[in-house]
Structure 1
Amino acid sequence: LVYLRDPLPVGDERPVGPVVLRLRRTDRLRPIDDLGLAEGEGAGAAGAAGELDFSQLPLVGPQGDLPAAELCEIRPGGALAEVLRGVRPVFGSAVGARDALPELLGSDHPVPRGQRAILAPLRGRRRVIGAAVFLRTPDRDAFEQNDLLVAAQLATHTALGIDKAVLYGREAYIADELQRTMLPDGLPQPTGVRLASRYLPAAETARVGGDWYDAIPLPGSRVALVVGDVMGHSMTSAAIMGQLRTTAQTLAQLDLPPAEVLHHLDEQAQRLGSDRMATCLYAVYDPVSHRITIANAGHPPPVLLHLGGRAEVLRVPPGAPIGVGGVDFEAVELDAPAGATLLLYTDGLVESRLRDVWTGIEQLRERLATTAQLTGLDHSPPLEALCDDVLDMLGPGDRDDDIALLAARFEGIAPSDVAYWFLDPEETAPGRARRFARRALARWGLEELSDSLELLVSEVVTNAVRYAERPVTLRLLRTDVLRCEVGDDSPQLPRQRRARETDEGGR
């Protein structure tokens, strides 16, 4: 019978309550009469002395005929506590063990007399984690002194194995939690684009890596798409990845151009250490202009799947990896037609020991084109199914690295749903803005929103005119809601503040 502490301690954890042992395993050889062996059978399992080889016999579990207590609380100063403190296995007939066995097994459990019971503490690397009990029925020979040595070996190896398994389980849990918290819980649903993502660790033995992806809503109904890869598979790589991802999110909220975002990420990586290298691709999609701006820092190029089924590898300047320092990053602006799908990924998807990165990119491009043809050229393939199909291209031996995958389906905002004006920064601008807004609402059949929109436009445009030197922009977007956007050239970013009683104005 094998008893283990409940719950099992991990590492240097100290119990805060009473120590409880729970019965985890009961093995008992079936009586020979129950094996159903006819006379002469079992000869192949007989040894030189004609004894049956018990290693070939089936075992029965806790439902066998040796009922034992499921739980046992170790009383401080009790006989069981003293035996477990001694660490070494003892016969059931030894001093202290006679009282310890009933305490462990329960008073109703029969204990064979003589040396037919062994109580072996299970000691891990730091403390006793349980106990094993070996019992022999009265019709069998009693245990000998050598059996204590065997029991000690079994108990030692078992306890260390359990200890390592528990510790590994905790480490794996921490790794999974770390990786999960480093990656977004879910993707936003910005206007004019649909998103899907996948993440696969390199292997069960390396669950933590430096790959990440992100989608960050930006002002003006735009969205930033980010994918990156820190070198290595370790807690350190994951920690650096988390810092770079947080930095990218902060820079995105400042609405910096993609090339400038990569420049600041490069500076951040240098502060983390000279050997902290990473690749990153940062793209900003504008659903109104149907354009996308991309900057690359040593990352594999994205692939664009057009509505007609054509897949192309976008020509983006590769740039140097983040952390090199002293390099410039170049951004390019490309068309992002409605219905097209942009695929951002890390090199684990296209590179392995069996193929180089450019071979993998070509295979990815062909896979996307084939998938689009199967679903028809008139409409785009389902986004989630497309991600699954891309991962299915991985064969045996292709999983050498983590894989982060971010897919963006461009839907855009139709020109008929956009109204755009430029207003000179003068006193008449708020009145003109109200008139423009009323006309747009009348054209869209949204006159019931006129009062709210006119008040909003008047307040925000007035504030913008007070601080702007160049024409103020007013844009209305009819999407799932009516969006009103006002822009000006003031370098100070607007933020929500609570007005004090003494305030007469404010940005």
Structure 2
Amino acid sequence: MAPAAGADLGSRTIPGQALTGALPRSALATESQTQASGPLLPTTAHNPLTPPFAPDGPGRNSAPSPDRMRLASAAETIAAGTSIEEVSAGLGRAAVPDFADHVVLYLRNPLEDYDALVFGAVRLARQDAGGQGPPPPAVPEALTVPRGGPLAEVLGSVRPVAVGDPLSRAALADIDAGLAGSRAHAIIAPLHSRRMLLGCAILLRYGPTPYDESDLLVAAQMATHTVLGIDQVLLAQRQATAMMELQRTMLPDSLAQPTGIRLAFRYLPATETARVGGDWYDSISLPGSRAALVIGDVMGHARVSAAIMGQLRTSVQTLSGLDLPPHEVLHHLDEQAQRLGPSHLATCLYAVYDPVSQRLAVANAGHPPPILLHPDGRAEVLQVPPGAPIGVGGVDYETTEVDAPVGAKFLMYTDGLVETRERDVWSGVEQVREQAAAGQWAKSGDVFDLESFCDDVMASLLGTAERWREDDVALLAAGFDGIAPDDVAHWPLEATDRAPREARTLTRDALSRWRLEEMTEAAELLVSELVTNAARHTSQRLTLRLLRTDVLRCEVLDDEPSLPRARRPESLDEAGRGLYLVNRVARRWGVSRLSTGKVVWFELAIPDHKRPQDLPADPGPRL
């Protein structure tokens, strides 16, 4: 079977068989369609296949018969197909049995690249359109049309050709020698779109009546509408592909996996005509080893929704870098949406997880409520004040804080998961809660399997089989592992000349208790550089924090808002080498703005044999 619209034909040969006869006359136009309105072959810029001849003139029929008019009217239905298969079947219904006994259709292979320049032979593949009647002629599945041959010369013309002269017979022989030697009368109708060869249709008639010149007019009309239909299908495919690609580029391929949290996500576009939507999801690493979890839904299904979604997602990432509380992020996002336009509305759920304090802060802008799965197996729909959607304006949002202990799970989703024509939002939310509680104990070894958990939730709400979806669906699940208190050490320091020496001592003692002595030299050097810079530029106290996870992370916090920048010092410079050393020695480093200043951090890789699970936990006293 031929692929439907939107399928990727690739470079393979399209299987199929000839369009065949014995279709009922009811498949043709109704009686009300038998009156042609206007010229039989109107010459317009949108009708590139119109032959350069008209129904009147020397040697031509001055008035087409009612049967010819009815066939031409039926040909207009060919372009109504929404897929290549439907267009092919429409050609068969229009031509068989009143005009031809068989129709053989060949299209470029691959069809999507028909408008690409070809400097060698052109490949055509036979298109299957189904049908009933006697067996079709045994024509080849694929054709190669070399330049300079009889078939190439016939297909290079816009006129359908009734096979009879030596050139047309040679062209038919290039298609199939047995067909050329049969008693069938044939028309070869080239299919051109914007002066590029799209393929050809061969109309075969058995019996004593050959094709005449008025039949060529009807064949040209059928070829024209076939090309228009195929062109519309290919245009729709390209537009759908472009919109889907636009949306894919605006959604993350993978999510950041901050320390102390595991993430899984699912996304399903809406089906058929509403495939592009405005759902998005994200995770953003924040200062202090925290993580922001975001999910949102721009109202509507169009390229505009996808474009607005991309702008709002970028805005959320920018606002997250300012270390604002969740309700402030939504407030500024609401202002940004109003600047984009008065009609752009979206719902959004924004949460911040702190693995050290094991707390979760959530704010909601008209989005379905999240679900928190407690370690004891209890599933709770969080009572977060919903607020109004983003873009309404003048609305105060609220932040709700809850405990998020180790082993808890957090579920965020869009309304496409819970709302259908048969199910209201709140019934769907309750079903998600029940399914989450039922799947709470899904394990992969000794670790909770978030991926299987997401699959179970999606299958429970949407079903396992592909089904019609009016809305796209996004699902974001988080498993909270936290950071154990014994893997965290922090100390306040005075911004004095003694701060770097004190920081080196505290770092050395903590690494010794963690049995990471081999990392002491590099850690002391980098800690000293960061603390020295902070002590120079702040008059208040600063904070040094060490975290031991799969890496050793050091953070220096101060109240100076200006952010340092690494630069390459000249050979005689006395300053400017601190961050240069950090950049060369550390595995990663960065600087982030806080609401009360900034944090500069770096990470060093911990040897595999000295990961936290294999080491004592006590880092010593916290001052």
Verify same fold: TM over 0.5.
yes
What is the match of residue 238 of structure 2?
Answer: 170
In the TM superposition, 1:262-277 aligns within 5 A as: 262-277=330-345
Check the 8 A contact 2:442/2:452 in 1, yes or no.
Answer: no
In the TM superposition, 1:405-416 aligns within 5 A as: 405-416=475-486
Quickly say closer, same or farther: Cα 1:369–1:69, change in 2 above 3 A.
Answer: closer
What is the match of residue 195 of structure 1?
Answer: 263
Q: Deviations over 1:234-290 (max 9, x none)?
A: 111101111111121222233333223222222221221111111111111111111
What is the match of residue 3 of structure 1?
Answer: 106
What is the match of residue 469 of structure 2?
Answer: 399
Q: Deviations over 1:162-181 (max 9, x none)?
A: 32332232223222222211
Alpha-carbon deviation of 1:359? Answer: 2.0
- Judge which range, 323-332 or 113-122, deviates more: 113-122
- Judge which range, 249-258 or 402-411, deviates more: 249-258
Quickly say closer, same or farther: Cα 1:26–1:444, change in 2 above 3 A.
Answer: closer
Quickly say closer, same or farther: Cα 1:420–1:118, change in 2 above 3 A.
Answer: same
In the TM superposition, 1:23-422 aligns within 5 A as: 23-25=124-126, 55-59=132-136, 64=138, 66=139, 70-75=143-148, 83-84=154-155, 87-93=158-164, 97-98=168-169, 100-101=171-172, 105=175, 111-112=180-181, 116-124=185-193, 128-135=197-204, 140-141=207-208, 143-145=210-212, 148=216, 151-152=219-220, 154-372=222-440, 375=442, 381-395=448-462, 399-422=469-492
Code of the aligned partner of 1:320: A
Return the alpha-carbon distance in structure 1 between the equivalents of residues 142 and 281 of structure 2: 52
Return the alpha-carbon distance in structure 2 between the equivalents of residues 276 and 126 of structure 1: 42
Alpha-carbon deviation of 1:436? Answer: 0.9
Question: In the alignment, which of 459, 477, 489 is matched to residue 547 of structure 2?
Answer: 477
Return the alpha-carbon distance in structure 1 between the equivalents of residues 567 and 253 of structure 2: 29
Check the 8 A contact 1:277/1:323 in 2, yes or no.
Answer: yes
Return the alpha-carbon distance in structure 1 between the equivalents of residues 572 and 368 of structure 2: 55
Code of the aligned partner of 1:56: G
TM, length-normalised to structure 1: 0.83
Return the alpha-carbon distance in structure 2 between the equivalents of residues 247 and 216 of structure 1: 12
Question: In the alignment, which of 445, 448, 463 is matched to residue 518 of structure 2?
Answer: 448
Identity of aligned residues (%): 59
Return the alpha-carbon distance in structure 1 between the equivalents of residues 491 and 503 of structure 2: 8
Q: Deviations over 1:70-120 (max 9, x none)?
A: 211455xx8766654653422112586356545x538x6762488722111
Code of the aligned partner of 1:3: Y
Alpha-carbon deviation of 1:154? Answer: 4.5
Unaligned runs of 5+ in 1: 30-53
- Judge which range, 307-316 or 408-417, deviates more: 307-316
Alpha-carbon deviation of 1:121? Answer: 1.7
Q: Deviations over 1:406-465 (max 9, x none)?
A: 101000010111111111111111111111111111111111111111111111111111
1:70 match: secondary structure: strand
Alpha-carbon deviation of 1:131? Answer: 1.2
Alpha-carbon deviation of 1:148? Answer: 4.2
Code of the aligned partner of 2:132: S
Return the alpha-carbon distance in structure 1 between the equivalents of residues 150 and 119 of structure 2: 16
Return the alpha-carbon distance in structure 1 between the equivalents of residues 107 and 534 of structure 2: 70
2:390 match: secondary structure: coil
Return the alpha-carbon distance in structure 2 between the equivalents of residues 8 and 451 of structure 1: 64
- Judge which range, 355-364 or 284-293, deviates more: 355-364
Check the 8 A contact 1:339/1:380 in 2, yes or no.
Answer: no
Check the 8 A contact 2:187/2:204 in 1, yes or no.
Answer: yes
Return the alpha-carbon distance in structure 2 between the equivalents of residues 141 and 276 of structure 1: 67
Quickly say closer, same or farther: Cα 1:69–1:453, change in 2 above 3 A.
Answer: closer
Check the 8 A contact 2:161/2:187 in 1, yes or no.
Answer: yes
Check the 8 A contact 1:352/1:398 in 2, yes or no.
Answer: no
Return the alpha-carbon distance in structure 1 between the equivalents of residues 439 and 132 of structure 2: 55
What is the match of residue 51 of structure 2?
Answer: none
Unaligned runs of 5+ in 2: 1-103, 580-623
Quickly say closer, same or farther: Cα 1:497–1:360, change in 2 above 3 A.
Answer: farther
2:439 match: secondary structure: helix
Return the alpha-carbon distance in structure 2 between the equivalents of residues 465 and 67 of structure 1: 82
- Judge which range, 255-264 or 204-213, deviates more: 255-264
Q: Deviations over 1:125-149 (max 9, x none)?
A: 7755121223568xx5453337546
Check the 8 A contact 1:211/1:241 in 2, yes or no.
Answer: yes
Q: Deviations over 1:22-46 (max 9, x none)?
A: 231189x9xxxxxxxxxxxxxxxxx
Quickly say closer, same or farther: Cα 1:68–1:207, change in 2 above 3 A.
Answer: closer
Return the alpha-carbon distance in structure 1 between the equivalents of residues 524 and 182 of structure 2: 95
Return the alpha-carbon distance in structure 2 between the equivalents of residues 100 and 500 of structure 1: 77
Return the alpha-carbon distance in structure 2 between the equivalents of residues 357 and 469 of structure 1: 54
What is the match of residue 48 of structure 1?
Answer: none
Alpha-carbon deviation of 1:2? Answer: 3.1
TM, length-normalised to structure 2: 0.68
Return the alpha-carbon distance in structure 2 between the equivalents of residues 383 and 26 of structure 1: 45
